[in-house]
Amino acid sequence: MFHGLSAFPLTPLKEGTFDEHSFINLLRPVVDAGVDSLGILGSTGSYAYLTVEERGRIARCAVAHADDIPVIVSIGALRLDDILRLADDAQTAGVSGVLLAPVSYQRLTEDEVFNLYETVTRQLSVPLCIYDNPATTGFSFSDELLFAAAALPNIGSIKLGRVPEDLLQVRARLPDTVTLGIAGDWRAASALQAGFDVWYSVVGGLFPQTALAIARSKESAQSERLEPLWELFRRYGSLRVIAAAAEMMGKVAAPALPFPLQALQGEPREALAKLFVSLDLAGKTPGGANAYPAYRTVPHPVGPVSVSATGQSRYSGSSPTKLRFLRGSDISSSSLSTHAR
């Protein structure tokens, strides 16, 4: 299960609630492509913005439509009671594994993180993947903490956003039953070449064939041709980019992300639409990039928002209205924001 390509799809929302129909439609081509596992309710699946009840429903839906493909579900939450309930719900749903990042409002110590994994793994009947994701949790695992946590029962994999300098030494200190996985799609080819076992992939959740070509060949050239897409991922965040792609393809309703998150907008969204054609990501869609509107009007319960050239939005009013995402040419040069995420 913790090998090959693990595809992480979006969790689409419609008017703020789980859009089951769109979710199933997102899963179908990924399942049909034959990925090695499905990563449900990861960071790309917006797990932190959903209730325990919603997450249980989504886990059951994923398992019901995964055919024979193993399903891995995130159980991360602020409170231990919620983590354990999510673990129970996921296991009852029939998942093959779970994923846990040390989520906390207060910065955690290494002892606190170890105690968290020690407590949770004692309650599991399926393997757990440790997720080291300091970009969202604010906590970075030291090598020693990773080795200690990996030795706990029911640990099946470690998901890293980096490639260790001495991968052989890391391997030697990990149990043989624990695999190494890479996050950050632009790192995947080099990590797999270096000896990583699994790619936990954002792009695989929407473009599984593209991701499978990289995962199976492990060729740098397959990944390097996607560098314009990876640059958008690095600059704006993969979630905003992949959500914009799904919206433009008509796979999900806009806005697909939980408020106040927004899919990529403005000139970066227009650049993404062009990439569909240049990277052949839109080859199977009639109309190519022209089939994807780079801008659309979406309902939102706040005042009007305009989008800067960097893709960031600016609030400009207080009355409830529809949002209009403006083209860069509609915004005066004096009002453009120049910062990037």
CATH assignment of the domain containing 148: 3.20.20.70
Residue 159, in any domain of the structure: yes
Contacts for 48 with CB less than 8 Å, ≥ 6 apart:
76, 77, 103, 136
Per-residue pLDDT of the chain (341 residues; tens, 9 = 90+): 899 999 999 999 999 999 999 999 999 999 999 999 999 999 999 999 999 999 999 999 999 999 999 999 999 999 999 999 999 999 999 999 999 999 999 999 999 999 999 999 999 999 999 999 998 999 999 999 999 999 999 999 999 999 998 999 999 999 999 999 999 999 999 999 999 999 999 999 999 999 999 999 999 999 999 999 999 999 999 999 999 999 999 999 999 999 999 999 999 999 999 998 888 775 443 334 444 444 443 444 443 343 444 444 444 443 333 333 333 333 223 332 333 33
Whether residues 23 and 69 fall in one domain: yes
Residue 230, in any domain of the structure: no
Whether residues 166 and 295 fall in one domain: no
Q: Is-contact 309 336, C-beta < 8 A? A: yes
Whether residues 197 and 256 fall in one domain: no
**Last residue in a domain, options 195, 225, 255:** 225
Whether residues 256 and 171 fall in one domain: no
Whether residues 32 and 177 fall in one domain: yes
For helices 110-121 and 143-150, the axis angle rounded to 10 degrees is 20
Report how far apart, in Å, the C-alpha atoms of 82 and of each of 75, 167, 336 are.
8, 35, 42
Whether residues 221 and 262 fall in one domain: no
Residue 272, in any domain of the structure: yes
Whether residues 140 and 277 fall in one domain: no
Whether residues 253 and 219 fall in one domain: no
Cβ neighbours, 10 Å, residue 229: 26
Whether residues 284 and 320 fall in one domain: yes
Whether residues 274 and 318 fall in one domain: yes
Whose tokens are 């990529």? That residue is 264
Rounded CA gap, 208 and 228, in Å?
18
How many whole angstroms from its chain centre is CA 100?
14
Residue 279, in any domain of the structure: yes
For residue 78, give its domain range.
4-225
DSSP assignment letter at 237: -
Number of structural domains, the chain? 2
